[in-house]
Amino acid sequence: TQLLEQSPQFLSIQEGENLTVYCNSSSVFSSLQWYRQEPGEGPVLLVTVVTGGEVKKLKRLTFQFGDARKDSSLHITAAQPGDTGLYLCAGEIFMYSGGGADGLTFGKGTHLIIQP
Amino acid sequence: NAGVTQTPKFQVLKTGQSMTLQCAQDMNHNSMYWYRQDPGMGLRLIYYSASEGTTDKGEVPNGYNVSRLNKREFSLRLESAAPSQTSVYFCASSEWVTSGSEVYEQYFGPGTRLTVT
């Protein structure tokens, strides 16, 4: 079961343009995280949003958590080639054993290409 | 502080061969995880270890075994490799952090690219 749906799946734009990618779910999450993964590397944590309606900025990246804590968005202003990568959102779940241990479920990601 | 390290970085196996993927973290985290990443499938959890001495199955455990050797190390073993296990394998570790409220963050290793022919 894919709890987190990311859109678009692929996005290719020119340097300098703005873009928004989305992470949606029918489930409520206590927090959502965004990771960026470059080719040949592991995902790297960018930000965690916790409070419904929260907005966090990381230079040209703006992250928003929906009021109902079911969705999140990532907006990039004046995209640069260095922003190219796979953007993953992740939310906390309780583990498959039902034991209540911690864990994350990941969306399938948005593949972003910024062309010079 | 190296974070999460994985070995090997690349591996090619023949069907039926066995191998162990190694993972170590130096952040003193309690929880460690093994994921596989396949095109169009995203990251899927294979096994996890919430603390030293415990392991549990994730979403796709079949064909794999794990060992939490100590707090630092968590290994993944393929006893009899199959072509369906061709994938990129990531190890991760995590800890609860408090930044206003408690949140849960994971840190990933660089991955092992495994091909089974």
B62 vs chain A: nearest CA distance in angstroms? Answer: 14
Looking at chain B, which residue has its C-alpha nearest residue A86? B42
Angle at B16 between CA B12 and CA B18, to 5 degrees: 65
Residue A33's alpha-carbon distances to A8, A55, A80, B66, in angstroms, are 17, 12, 22, 27
Please tell me whether the peptide bond between B8 and the residue prior to it is cis, using omega within 30 degrees of 0: yes
Longest dimension (CA), chain B: 50
Cβ-based contacts of B58 with chain A (< 8 Å): 95-96, 103
Q: Assign A102 a pLDDT band (cuts: 50, 70, 90).
A: low
Contacts with A43 from chain B: Cβ below 8 Å: 43, 90, 108
Contacts of B45 in chain A (CB under 8 A): 96, 103
Q: Are A7 and A21 in contact (CB under 8 A)?
A: yes
Q: Quickly list DSSP for chain A.
A: ----EEE-SEEEEETT--EEEEEE-SS--S-EEEEEE-TTS--EEEEEE-STT-EEEETTEEEEE-TTSSEEEEEESS--GGG-EEEEEEEE---TTSS----EEE---EEEEEE-
Asked if B26 and B109 count as a contact pair (C-beta separation under 8 A), the reply is no
Q: Single out the residue of B1, B22, B15 nearest to residue B89, CA to CA.
A: B22
Looking at residue B1, its pLDDT comes to 66
In this predicted structure, what is the pLDDT of residue A2?
54
Tens digit of each residue's pLDDT, chain B (117 residues) = 679 999 999 999 999 999 999 999 999 998 899 999 998 888 999 999 988 889 999 889 999 999 998 999 999 999 999 999 999 999 999 877 665 556 667 899 999 999 999
